[in-house]
Structure 1
Amino acid sequence: MAKKSIQARQRKRAVIVAKFAEKRAALKEAGDYAALDLLPKNASPVRLKNRCQLTGRGRGYMRHFGISRIMFRDMAVQGKIPGVTKASW
């Protein structure tokens, strides 16, 4: 499980990205890169990292489900993800 501070930092970045999204789009459309440079660094969506919604793990993230591979496997074995079963042959 990721540290609580890292998860909090990620949530903070997501709020800032949403706050400045329209302003960033308008400045990019106008080509005003000087004004774009004055915005906070965390306003850039590139600074967001995909993390597991349950544990905050940054590696092994499955985009389709929004969770890490480890949590996906645990939940699939327990039958908590509809339509997903463990393969056997």
Structure 2
Amino acid sequence: MAKESVKARDRKRRLLVQKYAAKRMALKAQGDYVSLDKLPKNASPVRLRNRCSMTGRGRGYIRRFGVSRLVFRKWASEGKLPGVRKASW
């Protein structure tokens, strides 16, 4: 499980990306890279990392469900994910 500080940093970055998204798009369209460079570094969507919404784990992320593989497996075993069941053959 990730530290609370890592999860908080991720949330803060996501808010900054949303806040500056329109401005970044306008500056890129104009080709004004000097002004684009003056925006905060964390406003760039490249700096985001997909993290599990429950644990904050950065690896083994399943995009469709928004959680890590560990949480996904737990939820699937408990039957909390509709339409998902363990394979058996």
Code of the residue aligned with 1:54 in structure 2: it is M
3-state SS in 2 of match to 1:34: helix
Moved over 4 A (4+): none
Q: How many residues align?
A: 89
TM-score, normalised to structure 1, is 0.99
Code of the residue aligned with 2:21 in structure 1: it is A
Q: Residue in 2 aligned with 1:87?
A: 87
Q: Residue in 1 aligned with 2:44?
A: 44
Query: In the alignment, does 2:69 pair up with 1:69?
Result: yes
Q: Gaps spanning 5+ residues in structure 1: where?
A: none
Q: Gaps spanning 5+ residues in structure 2: where?
A: none
Root-mean-square deviation (CA, aligned residues, Å) is: 0.4
TM-score, normalised to structure 2, is 0.99
State the percentage of identical aligned residues: 66
Q: 1:17 Cα shift? A: 0.5
Q: 1:57 Cα shift? A: 0.3
Q: Residue in 1 aligned with 2:13?
A: 13
Q: How does 1:48-63 map to 2 (within 5 A)?
A: 48-63=48-63
Code of the residue aligned with 1:23 in structure 2: it is K
- Aligned equivalents of 1:46, 1:6: Cα separation in 2: 17
- Aligned equivalents of 2:20, 2:87: Cα separation in 1: 44
- Aligned equivalents of 1:16, 1:29: Cα separation in 2: 20
- Aligned equivalents of 1:6, 1:54: Cα separation in 2: 13
